Structures are given as C-alpha cells and as structure tokens.
Homo-oligomer: A and B are copies of this chain.
Amino acid sequence: MFQELIEYYQSKSVDLTPELMELMHLTLSERTVKKGEILVQPGELNEQFYFVAKGLLRGYTTDLNGKEHILQFAPENWIISDRSSVFFKESSNQFVEAVENSKVVILNEDFLTKACQINPSFMMYNLKALNNHIRQLQRRINLLLSAPAEVRYLDFIKLYPDITLRVPQWMIASYLGITPESLSRVRKELANKNFRV
C-alpha cells in the first residue's frame, strides 16, 4: 500500500519511522479514478488532499460564461486539493477531475498535522513543499502580469514538457489564460520561426 507515496517521501528525505508508517496506514486510503471522473465539485465540502500515485488530475473553475480556467495540473507525485475545504471548512470553489485514468492516495488534515507533530523531517518536507508551491504560484502570477501568450507558452512547455504531451492543447490554452484558437496561432508563429519542441 502507498508504495508511490512512500517512495516520494523517501526521495524528499522524510524519515519513515515506524510511528509515521503506522499513522499512514491508519489514516490514508487509496482510490482509483477513471478519466473524466470528478473528485471535487464547487459548493461541496471536501476535506481531502490527493497525492497522485499514477495518472494526471487537473483543478479548474468555471466562470459566469461557462468557460473553464485551469488552476493547476497534478501529474505523478503532485498533491492537489481545494485548500478552502481542507483547512478552512469552506465549500470548494473548483473542480478536481481526472484527465487520465489515475490512482490517488487520499490525505486529510489530520494526517498532515499529526505527521508534522510526530516527525520533524516530515514537518521540514511539508514546510518546504508549501513554500515551494507559493513560489510556483508567484512565478505564474508574474508571467500573467508581464508576459504575452507566446512567452507564457514557451515557459510552460519548458517547465512541464511531460504535461504538454499528455493533455489536449485546449487545456494548455486554458491554463495559460488564452483561447485554443490563440494558442494555435502562437504555435504557428513559433513554427514559422523554426522553433522546435
């Protein structure tokens, strides 16, 4: 059980003490989700974090015009959730959906806080992970504020070459904040400049 999660923690230098292992087996569970299946819906309370053991999830919102806006992709070894629900007991404001057939490990607030308490190395990992997440989000905000679509696209395929190949183009467009048509034109422009992925 939780093989992928355990290996992930090891790679992050988490000291997998018997105590931590016991906590994991007591509080965690696994679940498989089919492509297109929805794990979290806006309006619902969902106090779970999902660690992606296999597959690919995405988090997105819909606006008043029904347009989707992708907030995050979560491939293997990423954690995705709606933090409003988990830490603040508010209803979610985003969807979490499986882009591919996936396997996730379900973490909850209980596990995270207890693991931090009983295991200093886990706490260090968690602090770093959260700060790193903040860093990524700031980087994305900076790009949205300062860079045109072409630059944002190049940044995306450089940062996430893996995801680029696994999701349809319109999802990348949605993540970048442009229309699929615009992304198509951006790619055409890049091709004309002899750019190769």
Residues of A near any B CB (own CB < 8 A): 61, 63, 67, 69-72, 83-84, 86-88, 94, 112-113, 116-117, 120, 123-124, 126-128, 130-135, 137-138, 140-142, 144-147, 174, 177
Contacts and interface: CB of A to CB of B under 8 A. Distances in A.
Given A83-B131, A116-B123, A128-B87, A69 B146 contact: yes
Which A-B residue pairs are the 5 nearest by beta carbons?
A: A137-B137, A130-B130, A69-B145, A145-B177, A144-B144
A141 B144 contact: yes
Contact of A120 (B84, B117, B138): B117
A117 B127 CA distance: 12
With most chain B CB atoms within 10 A of its CB, the pick from A67, A72, A128 is A128
Copies in the complex: 2
A127 B113 contact: yes
Contacts of A144: 141, 144-145, 177
A46 to B, nearest CB: 14
Contact of A123 (B123, B131, B145): B123
